[in-house]
Amino acid sequence: MKIFIDPGHGGSSVGASYKGRKEQDDTLRLALKVKELLGTQKGVEVRLSRETDTNPSITKRCSQANKWGANYFLSIHRNAANKAGSASGNEIWVVRKANEKTQYKASVILASLCKTDSLKNRGVKLGAPSYDNFGVNSGTTMASALLEVGFINNEKDNRVFDEKFDEIALAIAKGIMEAHSKEFVSPEAVRGDADGDGKLTEKDALLALKMAVGHEKKDMSADVNNDGKITPEDAAEILKKSAK
């Protein structure tokens, strides 16, 4: 699965700004973190439209993703209200004629973010605020969305952005995986730790065996040999490891 992340603005395009804080910096920092997290996932390739403070044209951002054959395109931005402090929360934009699948994917990513940062869910929106479509949504050939992560001219939204930065990045990465019916496997997870308590014990082996035969809901952290499925071999491997 190829995921293309587009950090909004950059270079001469500052985006919105507030008290010295620039949208172009927030979007790049967040996109780099999301890339790092998604990069830990098996079978997932990630590319960014920019990795430094540059401003590729909208056409360039789209053509990079189109040529690469990305499966999903997510542009990351921060919102701004006309009057500082008057609006708060997250929203996501899809092309005006978006099909149900594209809208669904956007809603999953947005829900994952809102659950984590506890800011208002402002919904999946069609088109663009004052014109037909955002160029990144109309110029891409795959499902795409433009995510507005809080308002840059809202003190609370900025505080949440900074304090929960890693969790927000993780929520977006998880949301992207979930939107494609894939589970995000925590990179810190101990391989084989089926019950997720941070250590390998006989209990994990038993749980993995139950998962292998379908008596328990599969959790891919039990996939100790990392072959993409849970089998009795994983259970045996966990048992061996837990004895050490």
Q: Provide the annotated active-site residues.
A: 148
Minimum CB distance to Zn ion, residue 25 (Å): 12
Q: Which is nearer to Zn ion, 15 or 139 (CB)?
A: 15
Task: Pick from 7, 10, 15, 192 the residue near Zn ion by CB under 5 A.
Answer: 15
Cα separations (Å) of 143 from 88, 110, 132? 26, 15, 17
- Single out the residue of 76, 226, 53 nearest to residue 148, CA to CA: 76
Tell me the site size for Zn ion, rule CB under 5 A.
3
Taking CB under 5 A as the binding criterion, the range among 7-15, 49-57, 154-162, 189-197 that sits at the site for Zn ion is: 7-15
Minimum CB distance to Zn ion, residue 224 (Å): 43
Taking CB under 5 A as the binding criterion, the range among 10-18, 182-190, 201-209, 221-229 that sits at the site for Zn ion is: 10-18
Binding mask 56-85 for Zn ion (x = CB under 5 A): ---------------------x--------
Q: Which is nearer to Zn ion, 150 or 175 (CB)?
A: 150
Q: What is the DSSP letter of 10?
A: B
Minimum CB distance to Zn ion, residue 210 (Å): 48
Q: Is 8 in the site for Zn ion (CB under 5 A)?
A: yes
Phi, then psi, of 142 in degrees rounded to 5: -105, 175
Minimum CB distance to Zn ion, residue 111 (Å): 21
Taking CB under 5 A as the binding criterion, the range among 11-19, 29-37, 217-225, 233-241 that sits at the site for Zn ion is: 11-19
Tell me the residue nearest to Zn ion as measured from the CB. 77
Tokens, residue 197: 């308590």
Integer Cα distance of 194 and 234 in angstroms: 10
Minimum CB distance to Zn ion, residue 235 (Å): 49
Q: Which is nearer to Zn ion, 8 or 192 (CB)?
A: 8
Those residues whose C-beta lies under 8 Å from the C-beta of residue 109, and which sit 6 or more positions away, are 74, 92, 145, 147, 172, 175, 176, 179
Residue type at position 206: L
Provide Rg for the chain, Cα atoms. Answer: 20
- Single out the residue of 23, 40, 41, 29 nearest to residue 5, CA to CA: 29
Q: Are 79 and 160 in contact (CB under 8 A)?
A: no
Q: Is 175 in the site for Zn ion (CB under 5 A)?
A: no
Integer Cα distance of 94 and 96 in angstroms: 6
Taking CB under 5 A as the binding criterion, the range among 4-12, 62-70, 185-193, 209-217 that sits at the site for Zn ion is: 4-12
Residues interacting with Zn ion, by CB under 5 A? 8, 15, 77
